[in-house]
Amino acid sequence: MKRSVLRSLLLAALAGAAIWGLSPLVTGHVEPWDAGGLYYTLALALGGGLCGSVTPKPLWPFYVGCVAGQILYLLGWLPTGPLLPVGLMFVLLWSLVFLVSAYVGSRARTRWQARKQQPRGGA
């Protein structure tokens, strides 16, 4: 596996787990989607954007890593019940926010680097 893929996968997994780990501290709810407001959406968007700007290519490990990090946190640290399949579907769908934000962060970094490397206009 390429280093960039592994780095993206691990970074996204850490971000996904951190979203769940920080939820009780930030919102008072163990499950981030139970919090009133936009915590879960904003946390996914911010995490994806940051991950995409750190390691811009490829994008698929961001989605896989985010899903894996969230599911591993959910299964490892939270009690499970009969609604677990519904929760897993929520994770799969909401992680698309992370992926889209990673794409935006990746594009922003790529454009910024291209602009930085352009020769300055002179006389």
Share of the chain above pLDDT 90, in %: 81
Q: Domain tally for the chain? A: 1
Tens digit of pLDDT for each residue in 14-41?
A: 999 999 999 999 999 999 999 888 999 9
Q: Which domain holds residue 31?
A: 3-117
| In contact, 18 and 40? CB cutoff 8 Å | no
pLDDT category at 123 given cuts 50, 70, 90 is: low
Q: Residue with structure tokens 């995409």?
A: 52
Who wins on pLDDT, 118 or 60?
Answer: 60
Residue 107 lies in a domain: yes
Residue 122 lies in a domain: no
Question: Which residues are within 8 A (CB) of 51 and not within 5 positions of it... i.e. 6 or more apart?
Answer: 8, 11, 12, 15, 62, 98, 102, 105
Q: Residue with structure tokens 């989605």?
A: 63
User: What confidence score (pLDDT) does residue 120 get?
Assistant: 72
Count of other CB atoms within 10 angstroms of residue 58: 12
Tens digit of pLDDT for each residue in 50-66?
A: 999 998 889 999 999 99
